[in-house]
Amino acid sequence: MSTEATIPEQDLPWGKRPRATRDVLGFAIAWSLEEPARVGEVALISRPTVLGRGPAQAEDKAERAVFVRQRPGETTAGTALASSRISRIQLRITPAEGGESLEVSSVGKLAMLVRGAEVKKATLVPGDVLVLKNAMVLIVVSRPPSLELLRGKAPAPFPFGRADAFGVVGESIAAWRLRDALAFAAGSPHHVLVQGPSGSGKELAARAIHGLSPRADKPVVARNAATFPEGLVDAELFGTAKNYPNAGSPERAGVVGEADGTTLFLDEIGELPPQLQAHLLRVLDEDGEYQRLGESRVRKTDLRLVAATNRSLDALKHDFAARLAVRVTIPGLEERREDVPLLVRHVLDRLAREMPDVAARFFEEKDGVRGPKIEPALVEGLLSHRYTHHLRELERLVWTSVSTSREGFLACTPEVLAELRIEASKTPGDAELDEATVRSALDAAENNVTRAAKALGLKNRFALYRVMKRHGIVLAGEEGGEDE
């Protein structure tokens, strides 16, 4: 029997890991008439709280909501809300037991609107939008009390709410986790697979990985794999020798040769048939060997592949996918809805630079910032829209407003509203779900609320909790089981 001392479990490296903090619900500012520079700030609500104009006073009976700028490693408190339209105590907010929702009561002079209806009380979950009429638009978010520091190289400092050096816009957890993943991928020497829904910004992410990598001093070589001519894929990839296939044909390096010493970005890699993916296996190995067509000698290249697809891994040949050791997933807008107003401003800023008429008609100086004049109904509509093509679709909706707004502000015009309604009509609202349907979905998902919500077409598990509360459905033990 060994007499050696056993290391106590708490002294093991993983035994010292701090317990993860629970996320807290709160409100992010999505639009403000008088303080537009505060869009993106967030107030977390962990106990009964009031929201209103001005700082706390001695007679206040509840904690006052404080909006902060939350970034990894730093949380900067903002000043008290200064909007003259908002009452000193406008909302009373109480987190529901379990922290799954916020109970909100309107007690100030401004009307509170939820889902287009004026209400005095509402139960809100992440993704829900609350409008203080003609003063503010708020969206419910779920955040940790503080954001973790990045694993990789932190981005160069950039203004709050604006694009970073590589064009990534957003202050949500999802946006910062994306920056974290891009920095980590950039620091790795391995080939990378970027996955994400159509229009989510995969090429932007690929260029950020290149720009943050040691290969950034050379330009990235980019091609769309879906555009390779049928029967000529090898020639496009590996190039051709002089006089091949016909006398007088010029020598071609191919994208593999062009990318020697830099990054090769192949978009829509899932559209490349598996038998053609196999042609890339040898060049992706450590030696980087390949041959040009019509040439007997073996060449070598030092490239790094960043491939992107909106398809599942099943679309990739197993041994090809295995060579893409680093994976980066780009979130869709449903995972970062609080970033939508910041993205809208980014799109409009670009349009204003390109089109002087847009700048003259729709921009003004306010709160020390020159920014767009936007109707709150447009912001609310874009926040609530069910996106299928994400950033690309958001840009199209903004352009629709720019081209159809007839006054001196960007409006939720009939043309924009028609597109929003088309998307909204594709999925049933939670109000249409009866108790039997909900119980059946929960049974099929073995009481896993996340899976049941997805099966019912709801945007997240919080939406299902709201329906369950309406029908009086309570699950035994931990509510909803172990959510994925």
| pLDDT tens, residue by residue, 67-109 | 999 999 889 999 999 999 999 999 999 999 888 899 999 999 9
Nearest to 98 by CA among 481, 478, 484, 482: 478
Task: For Cα atoms 16, 22, 25, give the angle at the middle one, nearest 5 degrees.
Answer: 160
Residues 307 and 389 both lie in one domain: no
Is residue 54 left, alpha or beta, with left meaning phi > 0 and alpha meaning psi from -120 to 50? left
Token look-up 């069910």 returns 386
Q: What is the mean pLDDT of residues 338-352?
A: 97
Do 85 and 207 sit in the same domain of this protein?
Answer: no
What does the pLDDT read at residue 450?
A: 77
Q: Is 127 helix (H, G, I), strand (E, B) or coil?
A: coil
Q: What is the chain's mean pLDDT, rounded?
A: 89
Total domains, the chain: 4
Sequence-ordered alpha helix ranges (H) in 200-289? 202-212, 233-238, 254-258, 274-277, 281-284
Pick from 87-96, 215-224, 322-331, 359-368: least confident: 359-368
On whether both 242 and 378 belong to a single domain, the answer is no
Greater pLDDT, 133 or 482: 133
Residue 252: what are its φ and ψ, rounded to 5°? -130, 135
Same domain as 279, residue 355: no
Reported as a pLDDT band with limits 50, 70 and 90, residue 291 is very high
- The angle that helices 340-354 and 376-384 make with each other, rounded to 10 degrees, is 120
Least confident of 41-45, 249-253, 418-422: 418-422
Q: At 205, which CATH number?
A: 3.40.50.300
Q: Are residues 324 and 181 in the same domain?
A: yes
Q: Is the pLDDT at 64 greater than 80, yes or no?
A: yes
Q: Is the pLDDT of residue 423 over 80?
A: no
| pLDDT for 481 | 37
168 located within any domain:
no
The pLDDT value recorded for residue 3 is 57
> Which of residues 331, 351, 380 is at a domain's end?
331
For 194, counting Cβ atoms within 10 Å of its Cβ (0-12 exposed, 13-18 middle, 19+ buried), the class is buried
Confidence class for position 392, pLDDT limits 50, 70, 90: very high
Residues 39 and 129 in one domain: yes
Does position 311 have pLDDT exceeding 90, yes or no? yes
Sequence-ordered list of residues with C-beta below 8 angstroms from that of 140, at least 6 positions apart, any chain: 25, 26, 27, 102, 124, 125, 126, 127, 128, 129, 130
pTM to 2 decimal places:
0.84
The answer to the question of residue 13 being in a domain is no
pLDDT of 206 above 50? yes
CATH code, 100:
2.60.200.20
Domain presence at residue 1: no
DSSP type of residue 289:
E
Confidence of residue 208 (pLDDT cuts 50, 70, 90): very high
User: Are 180 and 323 contained in the same domain?
Assistant: yes
- Shared domain for 438 and 319, answered yes or no, is no
Best CA proximity match to 303, nearest among 192, 411, 467: 192
User: Containing domain of residue 314, as a range?
Assistant: 173-331
pLDDT attached to residue 475: 80
**Same domain assignment for residues 358 and 381:** yes
Query: Are 127 and 264 part of one and the same domain?
Result: no
Query: Which tokens sit at 334?
Result: 């449903």
127 within some domain: yes
Q: Is the pLDDT of residue 20 over 70?
A: no
- Dihedral class, residue 335 (left if φ above 0, else alpha if ψ from -120 to 50, else beta): alpha
Domain boundary, last residue among 302, 331, 360: 331
In the numeric block, which tokens belong to residue 425?
């009509």
Q: Provide the 3-class DSSP secondary structure of residue 42.
A: strand
Quick check: 186 and 209 in contact, CB under 8 A? yes
Same domain, 177 and 326: yes
Look at residue 152 and tell me if it is in a domain: no
User: How big is the chain by its Cα radius of gyration, in Å?
Assistant: 26
pLDDT of residue 12: 82
In a domain, 248, yes or no: yes
Strands 129-132 and 112-114, bridge-based pairing: antiparallel
Closest CA relative to residue 84, chosen from 129, 54, 119, 126: 54
CB-facing half-sphere around the CA of 339: CA atoms within 13 A: 25
Distance CA 384, CA 392 (A): 16
Cβ proximity of 335 and 294 under 8 Å: no
Asked whether residue 73 is assigned to any structural domain, the reply reads yes
Both structure tokens of 395: 């840009």
What's the pLDDT at 422? 42
119 shares a domain with 237: no
Domain annotation covers residue 399: yes
pLDDT at 4: 64
* Ranges 39-43, 76-80, 239-243, 431-435: which has the least confidence: 431-435
pLDDT at 198 over 60: yes
Q: Does residue 45 carry a pLDDT above 50?
A: yes
pLDDT at 18 over 80: no
